[in-house]
Structure 1
Amino acid sequence: MTDSPAPKSHIAHTLLSRAHSPDSAAQQFTERIKQKPLFLRPTSPSASDNRSRRRLHRLRKQEYFHRHQRPRPLSAREKRASGLYDLPKEECKYAIFKGLHALWIEYMQEVLDLRPDGKTGVLTPASHGAKLVSADYHGAEVEVVRSRSSGRVGIKGIVVRDTKFTFVVVTEKNQVKTVPKEHTVFQFTLPLPTSEEPAVKEGDKIQTDQSKSGGPKPLVFELHGSQFENRPVDRANKKFKWRNIDYL
């Protein structure tokens, strides 16, 4: 009858028995090693591992930075490419922008301090010129009365876009026209507010002349486009200055 081979001892028990007594080695092996996994790592990582670790750390820092910084605003070219300035043809209807024109009339009446009780003061260029220059004309119904190009005269519509050099208007025939401001004189009317009836609408057509109903006559203004070549956002903070108009 042959003897069975002795069980192979654990490598950790062998290492502990070299440094400790047999009882202490058996106790430490049972309490600290036998029931716990032993994790091993290379003592000297290669250069490629260090490079990968630095790259991962750099990518994490970039991700954190981009996640917490504000998005960069779009440039003018990116805005044009995205179609931000495009006006859909199915939405360029004169009837749609009549509500915008009504809001603009109320806005201008408030800017010029026009009161429905008839106590409005006299409007002069010195007192109200700066207010008209700094106002926003999105929603105004303008008409070209004089221009160096005769083809522009007579164009009338509601302003749907007020850029630095042009007015984009929608006419009553639902046509979108871009009118340059340079060497062009625009005219717009502003009805006075009344306490009895609204000063904006009558049926399906915008009424700009209240003299037909016996009310006060509307105010008529002329806007010289050559002196008005700036954006609405810049116009609000621009100081009003008197200038000579040489082309008149």
Structure 2
Amino acid sequence: MASSPAPNPNHIAHTLLSRAHSPETAAQHFTERIKQKPLFLRPTSPSASDNRSRRRQHRLRKKEYFLRHQRPRPLSAREKRASGLYDLPREECKYAIFQGLHAMWIAYMQEILDLQDGKNVAVMPQAHGSKLVSADYHGALIEVVRSRCAGRVGTRGIVVRDTKFTFVVVTEKDEVKTIPKEQTIFRFTVPLPEPTGSAADTATQEQQAEPDTPKPLVFELHGSQFENRPADRANKKFKWRNVDYL
């Protein structure tokens, strides 16, 4: 059996190991951990194909990371129409179904107009005009009072869709009608909330003393000045403008 070669005593590593260990231990560490340790070398000049594959892998990893952290792209108008996002099922377009939505809209408008137990009925354009302009009219019961198209006058229904240029309403006959806003004036009514508790007793006494009771608030909406989407109206500022009466 051949013995392992003796370590080189002039090697700097053997000299340092000899200072910390015995001669036998220093010789063993030098042979196992330094002299016989494999040395892995990578080629300094890889071929062109290796560089090309490395760049391709880098591009693929970068693309995968980008797709994983990318937000989903919003649907285009054509994709929304193709998916039927705006379609209203005919079996669900019933006037009785949307009456609950109309009741919620009334409570929403009463809160906007600061109507508390029917006492505050003074609606000022300077204070409430901007709120009415930026309000949401899904669920409003509107009626066409004036229009350049005489066939639209008298159409009455609950708004189920408020687009930029139209109101889509469901009439009492369960008919879905699309009414353009341009050159059309709409009318809607906001009833006063009923007083509760002691306020109801006070209101009853006042009604007995004064025959003229407060009536519901009636508003008219000029569609030509209202051609914007509900999301855009939320941040729209109220401005005074001259309107053309029909």
The 1:171/1:96 distance shift into structure 2, 3 A limit, reads same
Letter in 2 for 1:59: L
The C-alpha deviation readout for 1:217-238, integer Å capped at 9, x for no partner, is: 2211111101111111111211
The 1:219/1:56 distance shift into structure 2, 3 A limit, reads same
Structure 2 residue 106 is the aligned partner of structure 1 residue 108: no
CA positional deviation for 1:159: 0.6
The C-alpha deviation readout for 1:185-217, integer Å capped at 9, x for no partner, is: 1111111000259xxxxxxxxxxxxxxxx9742
Q: 2:55, 2:44 → 1: CA distance?
A: 18
Structure 2 counterpart SS, 1:194: coil
Partner of residue 69, structure 2: 68
Partner of residue 56, structure 2: 55
Partner of residue 246, structure 1: 244
Q: 2:221, 2:44 → 1: CA distance?
A: 82
Where in structure 2 are there 5+ consecutive unaligned residues? 6-31, 34-39, 198-211
Partner of residue 218, structure 1: 216
Partner of residue 192, structure 2: 192
Partner of residue 27, structure 1: none
Percent of pairs with identical residues? 78
Q: 1:42, 1:222 → 2: CA distance?
A: 83
Partner of residue 97, structure 1: 98
Q: 2:229, 2:76 → 1: CA distance?
A: 16
The 1:48/1:215 distance shift into structure 2, 3 A limit, reads farther
Partner of residue 231, structure 1: 229
Give the alignment's Cα RMSD to 1 decimal.
3.2
Letter in 2 for 1:68: H
Count of aligned pairs between the two proteins? 206
Which structure 2 residues correspond to residues 98-177 of structure 1 after superposition, within 5 A? 98-116=99-117, 118-177=118-177
The 1:50/1:185 distance shift into structure 2, 3 A limit, reads same
Letter in 1 for 2:112: V
CA positional deviation for 1:126: 3.1
Q: 1:152, 1:224 → 2: CA distance?
A: 14
Structure 2 counterpart SS, 1:60: helix
Q: 2:186, 2:121 → 1: CA distance?
A: 25
Which structure 2 residues correspond to residues 11-90 of structure 1 after superposition, within 5 A? 23-24=4-5, 46-90=47-91
The 1:90/1:49 distance shift into structure 2, 3 A limit, reads farther
Letter in 2 for 1:177: K
The C-alpha deviation readout for 1:84-106, integer Å capped at 9, x for no partner, is: 22222222221221111111000
The C-alpha deviation readout for 1:57-116, integer Å capped at 9, x for no partner, is: 211111111111222222223222222222222222212211111110000000000111
CA positional deviation for 1:49: 3.9
CA positional deviation for 1:241: 1.4
TM-score by length of 1: 0.72
